[in-house]
Amino acid sequence: MARKFFVGGNFKMNGSKASIKEIVESLNKVDIPDTVEVVIAPPALYVHWAKEHLTNPKVELAAQNAFPKANGAYTGEIAAPQIKDVGAEWVILGHSERRSIIKESDDFIAEKTVHALESDLGVILCIGELLEERQAGETVAVCTRQLEPVVEAVKDWSKVVVAYEPVWAIGTGLAATPADAQETHAAIRKYLSEKIGAQADGVRILYGGSVNGKNAHTFNDCPDIDGYLVGGASLKPEFVDIIKSRP
């Protein structure tokens, strides 16, 4: 099954009105191939600002988080319907920084995933292992553990994109070799095939470990790598090179 190349840009807690406007206006000028889907995730305060300045119909918006309730007394949280209301179509859930710093559990991330899908948002679901877990040979076990509660709760995976982000390669400049990344992606797809059947063939699995304009093309021959979730490089001109890295 052909899977559309997907490039996500996670701005994290970076940007201002001026800088995000500049990024968006730059993307407005990019001739994005029909074979590529591009989604950018500014900080929540700037999602609507980005939407107001976005004119390229091939670029969509995501929030970086969502709470699993539609409304209520949850100070500081953001609801999926609110994300939709300001024009975003996606949300990033389960990012390692949410897991490690905010201490979000696998079950809580699954709950958030279900609610976001029920609210008609697409979900970029992040998974990945720590350096010590990789050194102990636990990469696949960690990834499948993180996926398990989502697999149990979600029946329709058509709006879920999985992002494999080895934590040791986020923001460090380190990156898995294409062979290592492909091996992990293939194991993730094998697990999904065992759990959700034929749907797994259509689930896009992104790589997210320090991808940049120089190394993105090196993953092109990996059959189970369907795109990238980009961090720091999404704030730079080289993001366009990543978008155009797949022939």
For residue 111, CA distances in Å to 85, 106, 127, 196 come to: 21, 9, 15, 18
Taking the C-alpha atoms of residue 32 and residue 244, their distance in angstroms, rounded to an integer, is 8
Check 37, 95, 97, 104 and give the catalytic one. 95
- Please say if 53 is a catalytic residue: no
DSSP state of 35: T
Half-sphere exposure of 143 (CA within 13 A, CB side): 28
Backbone angles phi, psi at 30, to 5 degrees: -85, 130
To the query of whether residue 95 is one of the catalytic residues in this protein, the response is yes
Q: Up-side HSE of residue 157: CA atoms within 13 Å toward CB?
A: 23
- The residue from 37, 60, 97, 165 that is catalytic is 165
Most distant CA pair in the chain, distance: 48
Q: Closest by alpha carbon to 208, among 29, 39, 33, 1? A: 39
Residue 170, CA distances (Å) to 45, 229, 232 in order: 23, 11, 9
> Could you list the active site residues?
95, 165
